[in-house]
Structure 1
Amino acid sequence: MSISMTPWQRTAHGANLLDESGQPGVTIFEEITALANKHEAINLGQGFPDTEGPVEIRQIAVDAILSGANQYAPGSGILPLRQAIAEHQKRYYSLDVDPDTEVVVSTGATEAIAASLLAFLEPGDEVVTFEPFYDSYAAMIGLANAKHKVVQLKAPTFEPSIEDLRAAISDKTRVILINNPHNPTGAVFSTQVLSEVIALAHQHDCIIVADEVYEHLTFETKHVPIASLPGGFERTITISSAGKSFSFTGWKVGWATGPEHLITAIRTIKQFLTYSSGPAFQPAVAKALNLPEKFFIDFAASLASGAQILADGLENAGIPVIRPQGTYFLVADINNFKRNDAIEVARAMPESVGVAAIPMSVFARPENVSNYQGLLRFAFCKKPPILTEAIKKLQLLPEVLNR
């Protein structure tokens, strides 16, 4: 008996969620992590830190649990957190956001992205993203029965072409989904690119969904929210979370800010997804958002140091690196080696090298996989001793690539 795939399944196939026969499979992230565990390899594939967030913030969550904050939180999030989010946007970006009508708290940024797409997309609408893209984008676009178009980011700058943007965005486009700073490339987009996105959104009557979860994790460059640029706020849903900024990835506390009519639509969808989440975590995140600016500066500096350790080590081993401007990730280029299929190499590395990485091609649509087949993504959000040990092991990588 043959069962046709749903649009979501067809889209998910590009994210490696179905095997070659169309049956449910595992993601490449699960596969590589399993191989890393099997061979006791250092896992630089998945983007999670190996350090905990500030102890005083964790204690607030513990105290909240013990004092009874264990039932449903308000659907929009507790007022102190919404106020802290609004104050954060004002403090860092001079954005005036009403905590009552222009902020909604979500179960991580992923839910905010899902709610945004489901709120504004009708079957057949087009969504434009940059490629490579965070894997949930394709799945959510498929779930909404929308059409996914991409603007390809090309090494070594991973800066989108203005001409490609103009060619991809049309009157059929309903949402422009932009991730800046960008996972998986580590790029930070220029103000020129962001301004062009705004101009095209106005020209073609589009909504901008801005995934900015790495907003505080930039190196020697300042994050500029697209909503802070002229003409940006009125069309933009800005999304962020506590996961990346404070190393609380498991708490799953995110948020969206934007004009009231856009946030109201997101809240309407969100109530049928999780309704509310993290009642004990929300007051802790509210406190974290009010930490001194030095906390964010020091955290970004520590990540920049990790990026340099890993990049220097790879380059010393003879592996070219595209150094990141932000995020947790850097890209290694193995195109000029004899063995340059990054998927094959990534599957071999845990056993042969003792380090795990993720092939960049899994962040691309199936028809574009070949454009990224010689690129590997490494996560450097690890303690310096772990990165130093990984570098020692990665000296074996050129031997594997030249077999």
Structure 2
Amino acid sequence: MMPIRTSQKAAQFNESVIREMTRLFLTHSGPEGVNLAQGFPDFPAPDALKEAACAAIRADLNQYAITWGAKSLREAIADKTAHHYGVRPDPEREITVACGATEAMMAALLALTNPGDEVIVFEPFYENYGPDAVLSGATPRFVRLHAPDWRLDPAELAAVFNNKTRAIIVNTPHNPTGKVFAAEELGWIAALCQKWDVVAITDEIYEHLVYEGKHLRLSDLPGMAERTVTITGLSKTYSATGWRIGWLLAPPEATVAIRRVHDFLTVGAAAPLQEGAATALRFPDTYYAELATRYQEKRDSFLAVLRSVGLTATTPPGAYYVLADASVWLKTLKLPDDKALARWLVTERDIAVVPGSSFFRVPAEGANLIRFCYCKKPETLERAAKLLTALFPGVA
């Protein structure tokens, strides 16, 4: 029997390494293990969020919502955006609710790029962006963020723009490094987008996890509102990654195309969960301030642990990840690279991390790095600290 022929697109990338590490953790870990690989909290989502969704289910809001989002949620998104950023998008013409920021990115690229176009991606990158570009028929082009502070070189950025460039993906705060793009860097991007008639697609899912200064939106820069698609969602801010509720803010003509694609990708996000999300988006300012404070405390204490066991890492100003240099561990354990280290940690020591090579086009360029997430309960991070210090006592 002949095997089924598969597409050339699917042959250009592998499954998610991040999610693979969670599967390995579930297979090999004992009850005291810690999953510091995939970025989902292990603590409860807010009660008001959950109660609103349960009330919607009991009220029988269990059929299709409007394809591009329940009116209650789109109004809440518009109000929250106006409150935090001073600009209120039109709920009827500029907001699309999707099944998480992941589907939102795919819908945007399919709606706004054509085969043969180029899409600029910053490296190290969140691993979905390259495959998203490939699936849309475009070619990803990469621009390096330089360690240790993950700075952007304006000359290198300018060099990658050309007549084929259609879009640039900007993730700020950034996964996997925790970088927050500075106003100057966003200005470079904005100027080049306008020079080359390029659309910016921003992934701002960590917008409320900024620890120094405040979150800056590319769409708020002069000349960028009409050429920016802003993506964010429920997952990280409200600790509900499994709900898969995200949204896009885009100019009306882009929104028309995005909604067409979204309609045939997923039809729409879960109706009762959209009602829960609408409630969460009306939380008071104290919620966001307390969220950032708690995560900053987690970051600082966890960074101290990592440094005490020999890892090198720049303090991330946003998101909830640390991309650390594990060269000392590789040498101590006599392991060849990050992949071997990550597999050894999860299978032999019940600690799941992400090998840094998965965030680079050329894997060898990240072969000394591993990514940790610290969006965990205090007791989980304490357990991680005990495991790590027992494994590498006195390495530093």
For structure 2, the residue ranges without an aligned partner over 5 or more in a row are: none
Alpha-carbon distance in structure 2 between the residues aligned to 1:84 and 1:343: 43
Q: Is it true that 1:32 corresponds to 2:24 in the alignment?
A: no
Q: Aligned residue pairs: how many? A: 388
Residue 322 of structure 1 aligns to a residue in which SS? coil
**Percentage identity across paired residues of the two chains:** 37
Taking the TM superposition and a 5 Å limit, the aligned residue runs for 1:310-389 are: 310-336=302-328, 337-338=330-331, 339=335, 341-365=337-361, 368-389=362-383
Which stretch shifts more, 63-72 or 343-352? 343-352
Please tell me the residue identity of whatever aligns with 1:171.
Answer: N
Name the TM-score, length of structure 1 as normaliser. 0.92
In the other structure, the counterpart of 1:255 is: 247
Alpha-carbon distance in structure 1 between the residues aligned to 2:95 and 2:140: 27
What per-residue deviation string (whole Å, max 9, x for no partner) do you get for residues 127-166 of structure 1?
A: 0010122222112111112111011112111122111110
What per-residue deviation string (whole Å, max 9, x for no partner) do you get for residues 305-355 of structure 1?
A: 111121101111222222211112111112355246111100001244331
Q: 1:122 aligns with which of 104, 114, 117?
A: 114
Alpha-carbon distance in structure 2 between the residues aligned to 1:184 and 1:294: 27
In the other structure, the counterpart of 2:389 is: 395
8 A Cα contact 2:168 2:198, kept in partner: yes
Alpha-carbon distance in structure 2 between the residues aligned to 1:169 and 1:49: 37
8 A Cα contact 2:25 2:351, kept in partner: yes
**1:30/1:202 Cα in 2 relative to 1: closer, same or farther (>3 Å)?**
closer
Please tell me the residue identity of whatever aligns with 2:389.
Answer: Q
8 A Cα contact 1:57 1:288, kept in partner: yes
8 A Cα contact 1:208 1:235, kept in partner: yes
Residue 62 of structure 2 aligns to a residue in which SS? coil
Taking the TM superposition and a 5 Å limit, the aligned residue runs for 1:89-100 are: 89-100=81-92
For structure 1, the residue ranges without an aligned partner over 5 or more in a row are: 18-26
What per-residue deviation string (whole Å, max 9, x for no partner) do you get for residues 255-279 of structure 1?
A: 0012111111101111111111211
Alpha-carbon distance in structure 2 between the residues aligned to 1:30 and 1:243: 16
1:384 CA drift (Å):
0.9
8 A Cα contact 1:105 1:255, kept in partner: yes
What per-residue deviation string (whole Å, max 9, x for no partner) do you get for residues 13-47 of structure 1?
A: xxx33xxxxxxxxx423442233231322110110
8 A Cα contact 1:127 1:177, kept in partner: yes
In the other structure, the counterpart of 2:268 is: 276
In the other structure, the counterpart of 2:280 is: 288
Q: Is it true that 1:151 corresponds to 2:143 in the alignment?
A: yes
Alpha-carbon distance in structure 2 between the residues aligned to 1:31 and 1:100: 39
In the other structure, the counterpart of 2:187 is: 195
1:2 CA drift (Å):
9.0
Taking the TM superposition and a 5 Å limit, the aligned residue runs for 1:60-209 are: 60-209=52-201
1:182 CA drift (Å):
0.4
Please tell me the residue identity of whatever aligns with 1:254.
Answer: G
RMSD: 1.9
1:11 CA drift (Å):
3.0
What per-residue deviation string (whole Å, max 9, x for no partner) do you get for residues 241-291 of structure 1?
A: 001110111111110012111111101111111111211011211111110
